[in-house]
Amino acid sequence: MGVDFLFALRGGVKLPAGAAPIDAEIIPLSEGQTDWEIMAEVGYSFWPRTVYVNGWLGYRYRLAHKETRRNPGNETFFLAQVGGALGSVQYKLVVEGWDGGVPILEGIRVTTDQRNYLQVTPSLWYETGFGGFELGWRVPIEGRNLPDGGALVIGYFTKFGF
């Protein structure tokens, strides 16, 4: 009996490893606090057709940064992807986003709006040499309280064998 779909349950923690700049003109990679997250991931291949789908849904519990009295708010996040191949060219369409709680700065709710984000990324992949090139465009669809814009995605991926 074969497996119809793949399922994984993952968890993780992000711990601050240094100072997080608190500056209105800098977009930091972290707010300097600890985050805990759990997510469920599923996937399915329509083999022998060259089409697949996968996605995940998760929750991120974000602790307050005690020194700065900042709490970015908890988040629910997701990703859905469909992809396949047409000859030597592969394609995929990724839809991802999150919905975050109301941020608290210095103990005060600075807004009543929750932070949210939704983006779509179509891309093409062409195999060459030991890997392949990917070319795509990340398009923000919706977002509040988060600066962002469209982005060109260019990458080269290689395979490692063990």
Give the structural domain span for 34.
Answer: 6-16+30-121
**Residue 142 lies inside a defined structural domain of this protein:** no
**Is 161 a domain residue?**
no
Looking at residue 108, its pLDDT comes to 75
The reply to whether 108 falls in a domain is yes
- Residue pointed to by tokens 């260019």: 154
Q: pLDDT at position 67, please? A: 75
Secondary structure in 3-state letters for the chain = CCCCCEEEEEEEEECCCCCCCCCCCCCCCCCCCCEEEEEEEEEEECCCCCEEEEEEEEEEEECCECCCCEECCCEEEEEEEEEEEECCEEEEEEEEEEEECCCEECCEECCCCCEEEEEEEEEEEEEECCEEEEEEEEEEEEEECCCCCCEEEEEEEECCCC
In degrees and rounded to multiples of 5, residue 108 shows phi and psi of -120, 135
d(CA 48, CA 144): 42
Per-residue pLDDT of the chain (162 residues; tens, 9 = 90+): 466 788 999 999 988 876 666 666 665 666 678 899 999 999 999 989 999 999 999 999 988 877 777 788 899 999 999 999 998 899 999 999 999 888 777 777 776 667 788 999 999 999 888 889 999 999 999 876 556 678 899 999 887 765
Residue 101 lies in a domain: yes
Is position 138 within any domain? no
> Cα(123)–Cα(114) distance, rounded to whole angstroms?
30
pLDDT of the residue at 149 = 78
Report the number of distinct structural domains present in the chain.
Answer: 1
pTM for the structure as a whole: 0.78
Calpha distance 146→148 (Å, rounded): 6
In a domain, 45, yes or no: yes
Asked whether residue 25 is domain-assigned, the answer is: no
For residue 90, being part of any structural domain is answered with yes
Amino acid 70: pLDDT: 79
Cα separation, 94 vs 123, whole angstroms: 8
